[in-house]
Structure 1
Amino acid sequence: SSLNLVNPIQRDTATIPKLGWLKIRFTVDNPGVWPMHCHIDWHLSIGMLAQFVEFPKAAREAFDKKAPFEWCESCTAAKNPTQYCANKIR
């Protein structure tokens, strides 16, 4: 079948059959890191998760401005502090 690019169905969930596939299209207009995941809990626990990073530079700048200080402990533990955390850690 062909793709409906004029007026496509808009959904936030889809059922994919075994060995099936799904083509998705979305507007990239919201900086950040967004998950795409299965709604079956054990699938998530075995790593069936993908992340989309929209506008990485803008997302990093927004994080650096708004990140709670508690997050900096995680950044430091991972040896990857953001500029925000680097400025906050004594």
Structure 2
Amino acid sequence: MTSARVSRDGDILRVQGELNFDSVAELWETTEALFADTPLLRIDLSGISRSNSAGVALLVQWLRQARRRQRELLFVDIPAQMRAIIRVVDLETLLPTA
């Protein structure tokens, strides 16, 4: 199993590795608290090597969590594979991207 990991640099959360059903569950647990203390969080996805629909579901969940805490998110450098899934499931207008 290939895992994903996150690192934080100020208001940037960098995600690296593979987003799949196993890694997404682990990432959710490790990142949930990050949305409590940062008004704007940019999530850099340029380090994603592969993703399935679980990765896109994680983005939606992060967005929900941020909005619940009245925080803003911005997803940057979304890989083409994830963009394709986002387009197919019609989430392009929901997910704030740069």
The answer to whether the superposition gives a TM-score over 0.5 is no
The structure carrying a bigger strand percent of its residues is 2
The one of the two structures with greater contact order (alpha-carbon pairs below 8 A, sep at least 6) is: 2
Q: Which has the larger radius of gyration?
A: 1
- TM-score bracket for this pair, using the shorter chain length: under 0.3
Query: Normalising by structure 2, what TM-score?
Result: 0.26
The structure carrying a bigger helix percent of its residues is 2
